[in-house]
Structures are given as structure tokens and as C-alpha cells.
Amino acid sequence: MLKKDRAFFIFTELNKIYPEVPIPLNHENKFELLIAVLLSAQCTDERVNKVTPNLFSKANNPEEMMKLPTEKIFSIIRSCGLAPQKSKNISKLSRIIVEKHNKKVPESFIELEKLPGVGHKTASVVMSQGFGHPAFPVDTHIHRLAQRWGLSKGKNVIQTEKDLKKIFPKKSWNKLHLQIIFYGRSHCTAKGCDGTKCDICRTCYPNRKKPFKANKP
């Protein structure tokens, strides 16, 4: 099966399995989304969704968050990975948004990536899920599946993102990246499928007998 045929099959199959895709991180506004995505690094969405209600009850906008002591933020998010640094970044970026962006989350990759603790993936999620701009945030699930499915040989998420953007239509990116994540969590998991077990892997590579080893991001 050629790459374009695999891509078409994957695109069609994922739309059958996930005709609608909910946003995994609970939030009520763009600032809450930004904070939730920042917290999700080295942490599960489930854990983030347990932590954020308490945090957002104290401060759900940058003006209130910048007034919250860093120690208080840390005490609330301490169960998330990298909590000490994240609490500092949340406090700093809140002040920057208030002072430099008129209290609004910036609608720009460049400005988002200038914020403390906000990398390209976090910015991509905010631009996609918060503002609706076409973006293809790549996490470990997408990186793993893109290689198992022969869509990318990228050794890092940056190259994988570039490869996937070339293959799939721009209008599909915002929905598709979530579809791949959900499939990677429930069907083509890191341990549950080795590139030979899930339906998509078996259809794309029916003759694959040995476990497929993906490049780690």
C-alpha cells in the first residue's frame, strides 16, 4: 500500500471511529486552556482535569492568577509533573499577558511561544483548540503512530509534524490530530500494539510480522 493510500485509509477509518472529537482538557476560556495544556506536559489529561477545577476556582484569568502566590499555585498543582517550574511559569506568563497583551491570550504562534513554559506544541494546541487556526500539535502518541503507519520517519516531533502537514489537507488538521491521539490511547497503544495488532496497523502492513520499533521523540 502506497503512502497516499495508507493516508486515505487512515483518514477515512478515523472519521468512522471518531466522527466527533471532544477536547480532552476541560476549560471555560482560552486562558484556562493555555494553563491546562501547560500542565499536561509530563502529566496525563485525567490528572490535569482533576487539578484545574481547584486552581481555576481561585483564578481563571491572568489578572487573578498573577496575584496568586506561586507557593499557592504549586500547592494546588503539585501532583502534576514538573510542578515547581510550572507554578513559576504560570505566574510569570499571567503577568506578561496582563502587562503586554491587554489581559488576553495572544492569538499568535510567535507571541505564545515567547511565554514562559510554552513551547511549540502547547502553542499549537491553543491556536487549534482555542482559536480555531489550522495546527497539528504532535505528542508522543501521534509521533509513534505516524511511524508505525509509515507516514513519517521523523526522529523528533518537529519533523513528524512537517511530514503529517504535507500528507493531510489543512482543513482536517484540528480534528485529525485529536482523532490520532484518541486512537493511540485506546487501540494502538505503546504496549498494547507493536505495529502488528490494531486494525489500522494490520491493514496498512498486512505482511509485517516483527514488532515495529519507532524512533523515540
Q: Which residues are catalytic?
A: 121, 139
Q: Dmax over Cα atoms in the chain, in whole Å? A: 59
Which one, of 147, 180, 136, lies nearest residue 17 by Cα? Answer: 180
Q: What are phi and psi of 213, to 5 degrees?
A: -105, 115
Whole-angstrom Cα distance, residue 77 to residue 74? 5
Q: Give the chain as a 3 state SS string.
A: CCHHHHHHHHHHHHHHHCCCCCCCCCCCCHHHHHHHHHHCCCCCHHHHHHHHHHHHHHCCCHHHHHHCCHHHHHHHHCCCCCHHHHHHHHHHHHHHHHHHCCCCCCCCHHHHHHCCCCCHHHHHHHHHHHCCCCCCCCCHHHHHHHHHCCCCCCCCHHHHHHHHHHHCCHHHHHHHHHHHHHHHHHCCCCCCCCCCCCHHHHHHCCCCCCCCCCCCC
Q: Please give the grid coordinates belonging to residue 189.
A: 497503544
